[in-house]
Chains A and B, each alone.
Chain A
């Protein structure tokens, strides 16, 4: 019996050793990242992490932040909210990250943002677009900021493009139809078009939603192939990224894709993105995509905020992010590489609902497939390429 007591008390003491040592304002500044690195979404996670690594290398080469180097600590959520929560807690309490970036799926972002707010760790999402992450239910989630445009801004920009296009095509667009999937992203598209269509004076003539067949890329390919097979050629097709901006889209369809336009967060031919894309391509052998460009930018936002705060203290960095107003370029000379020229996190009114801590200047660009390549065609001030109209689809 005594032996048993001894064994149990040793076990109890071992467990007590799990307690946490204190943090310090020295050594590298640690950026926690929580993305899918395994499972079906690992490819997306890879692009994001490349953007982060690229920015970190660039900043460290110039002497780091407040004299300290940046270091990336990676977590893997594998697409699961429970695992995201687990990883957030591990990165914060075991790895002592100073700031957090994530995630790819908005559901996981929501859970991770809650954990970050609870521990007072500033978090910026580079790519989570679901509107409700910043709606009034999340007012108290005050350590969480969003750089990328909201879903509704994506849709608003698509409508804006359709309206602006008359400037180049000479023909005004009056009617639109929606074709989308029944998953969260597709449902958001329908909701947003209905929200803004009257503002732009469009007549919504049909809404078709269907269960995603197989994958976004599979569906995008089938969609264009079927249009061709049926001999139907709408004058304009504007896609909301996903399968359409997958590299395999152009390979699958060849010239059949000519004329299809899509939302892009970044494109290599953007006027302020060309230089960075060259450097990125030299490093990784692929073009920078929207996800890499946005996560690249978030690292720069953190750098600027931590320098402004003069410390990595969570509350101070949060206040610095909230006070940030970057116009055109970051201090130190790096231009904003995305299709907008200001970064400022604000509370604002969106279609009658207050939203919190979003980058209100964020917008997307529209690119069109021309001669088998994505060419930026909108906003007009960020490109020299003109819209091809009507879409040839051949």
Chain B
């Protein structure tokens, strides 16, 4: 075995140890952090980042800017809450039901809309969100404007109901990791390449045999299903939902982590969520009592600054930064690109013989 192969293996090992350690920190946080408030902030990070990943599949990977993700999340929350309260279903089953229903609704409604391109898709997504909200406000089955509450009771895994934050923390973390791995899988799959090709040039994609409508509908269905899952999680955690959940402002909130973190990367929403949500909580805790609303103003300033000076998001900047170089070369001992190429070549030659 030559040195190149060894170097590549050592790098991969270091990388997985590093990722494992980061994961370990997150697994251990509830052991050390006893403050429910801090745990609550982490739970917020988990579900908002997951929602933002759902958005990113459409907005980042496919280039279809949706501003209606709060509606998918809200519909998911409503579907699962109503199934639990009206039919007495098990919450975990209701999550699956919610995902299927919302996926179907999104697929059926958006199939004809994909004839539209660019800003027109965005406009339809805004209209979809508002229409869904108005529908719920005017439907007594959905509890109109008063919303739906989930029953109180003792802690139970079966009913996904806890007084403590810790179970929500771990379920949220598992959901985040699961959806991350799913997105990573999609990114590297045929579908991922197709979506990115569509983003760059839809006509070119069609010319090389990719059916843009088919892939866009697939993306919107998967994205809506993930948002519905987040809706289920939200409803189980907050235990009360109302149509305000589906306002335009909420849809915008789901876009922010991805844009700030770097919409071109699957990891973007994670990074953005880890930064923006604690920031928003901190600003509110620290400043809102001094001068009401000042926290939002400061949040907006941070947001504008990031978008003005780092238009590709924090990851877009990081990927070209000295910090990354330092971490790759000094800590993880990443070999130069030529070494990777040599190893790849070696492998292929082996196969050939």
Shortest Cβ distance from residue B165 to the other chain A in the assembled complex, whole angstroms = 8
Query: A82 touching B144 by the CB < 8 A rule?
Result: no
What residue in chain A is nearest B140 (Cβ atoms)? A187
The interface size bin for chain B is: 35 or more
Q: Which residues of the other chain, A, contact B21 by a CB distance below 8 angstroms?
A: 4-5, 8
B331 touches A114 (CB 8 A): no
Q: Are A187 and B288 in contact (CB under 8 A)?
A: no
Stretch at the interface among A84-92, A224-232, A271-279, A287-295: A84-92
Closest to A185 in B: B145
With A80-B244, A82-B238, A130-B146 in contact, is A94–B28 under 8 Å at CB?
no
Determine the distance from Cα of A90 to Cα of B41 in the docked complex, in whole angstroms: 10
- Assembled-state Cα–Cα distance A39/B292 (Å): 9
If the complex has contacts A16-B32, A81-B240, A183-B145, are A3 and B288 also in contact, measured as CB distance less than 8 A? no
Using a CB-CB cutoff of 8 Å, which residues 76-112 of chain A contact chain B?
Answer: 76, 79-83, 85-87, 89-90, 92-94, 107, 110-111
Q: Inside 8 A of A4's CB, which chain B residues have their CB?
A: 17-18, 21, 331-332
Q: Tell me, yes or no, whether A248 is within 8 Å of chain B by CB.
A: no
B89 at the interface (CB under 8 A from A): no
The residue from A19, A107, A137 contacting B244, defined by CB atoms under 8 A apart: A107
Q: Does B149 contact A (CB under 8 A)?
A: yes
Contact residues in B for A81 (Cβ distance below 8 Å): 238, 240-242, 244
Task: State in angstroms the CA–CA spacing of A24 and B21 once bound together.
Answer: 38
B267 to chain A, nearest CB (A): 18
The answer on a CB contact under 8 Å between B240 and A110 is yes
Kindly state the separation between the CA atoms of A138 and B240 in the bound complex, as whole angstroms.
13
A118 beta carbon closer than 8 Å to chain B? yes
Q: Is residue B119 contacting chain A, with contact meaning CB distance below 8 A? A: no
CB of B116 within 8 Å of the partner chain = no
Q: Check A141 for interface membership: any CB of B closer than 8 A.
A: yes
Q: Are B29 and A89 in contact (CB under 8 A)?
A: no
A37 at the interface (CB under 8 A from B): yes
Please report the C-alpha to C-alpha distance between residue A89 and residue B37 in the assembled complex, in whole angstroms. 5
Chain A residues, CB < 8 A from B145: 182-184, 187
Interface residue B113 (Cβ < 8 Å from any Cβ of A)? no
B37 contacts A90, CB within 8 Å? Answer: yes
Interface string of A1-45 (1 = CB under 8 A from B): 101110010011001101110000000000000000111001001
Contact yes or no, B40 A85, CB < 8 A: yes
Q: How far is the CA of A73 from the CA of B285 in the complex (A)?
A: 11
**Distance in Å: Cβ of A37 to nearest Cβ of chain B:** 4
Closest beta carbon of chain A to B264's beta carbon, Å: 26
**The residue from A12, A86, A110, A188 contacting B44, defined by CB atoms under 8 A apart:** A86
User: Given contacts A4-B331, A141-B152, is CB(A38)–CB(B293) below 8 Å?
Assistant: yes
Is the CB of B151 closer than 8 A to any CB of chain A?
yes
- Residues in chain A near residue B29, CB distance under 8 A: 15
Q: Which residues of chain A are near B242, meaning CB under 8 Å?
A: 81, 107
> Does A93 lie within 8 Å of B137, measured CB to CB?
no
Closest Cβ neighbor of B147 among chain A residues: A107
Which residues of B lie under 8 Å from residue A85 when comparing CB positions? 40, 238
Evaluate contact between B296 and A12: CB separation under 8 angstroms: no
Complex: chain B residue closest to A19, CB-CB? B34
In the complex formed, the residue of B with least CB distance to A183 is: B145
Q: Does A211 contact B (CB under 8 A)?
A: yes
Minimum distance in angstroms from A194 CB to a CB of chain B: 14
A37 near B240 with CB under 8 A, answer no
Decide if A89 touches B152 in the complex (CB within 8 Å): no
CA distance A211 to B243 in the complex (A): 14
- Which residues of A sit under 8 angstroms from B284, Cβ to Cβ? 76, 83, 87
Cα–Cα, bound, A73→B18 (Å): 42
CB of B149 within 8 A of CB of A110, answer yes
A140 on the B face (CB < 8 A): yes
Kindly list chain B residues whose C-beta atoms are within 8 Å of the C-beta of A211: 134, 137-138
Q: Distance (Å) between the CB of B26 and the closest chain A CB?
A: 10
Q: A74 an interface residue at 8 Å Cβ cutoff?
A: yes
The answer to whether A1 touches B285, judged by C-beta atoms less than 8 angstroms apart, is no
Cβ-closest chain B residue relative to A3: B331
In the assembled complex, B167 has its CB within 8 A of some CB on chain A: no
Given the interface pairs A86-B44, A107-B244, the reply to whether A18 lies near B38 with Cβ below 8 Å is: yes
Known: A8-B22, A16-B33, A82-B44. 12 other contacts (CB 8 A): A12-B25, A15-B32, A15-B33, A19-B35, A37-B288, A42-B292, A74-B289, A80-B244, A81-B240, A92-B37, A111-B239, A187-B144
Give 18 CB contacts A-B under 8 Å: A4-B17, A15-B29, A15-B32, A19-B33, A37-B292, A38-B295, A76-B292, A76-B295, A86-B37, A86-B40, A89-B36, A89-B37, A111-B239, A114-B152, A137-B152, A140-B152, A182-B137, A182-B145
The 10 closest A-B CB pairs, nearest first, are A37-B292, A38-B293, A184-B145, A16-B32, A74-B289, A76-B288, A183-B145, A89-B37, A184-B146, A90-B37
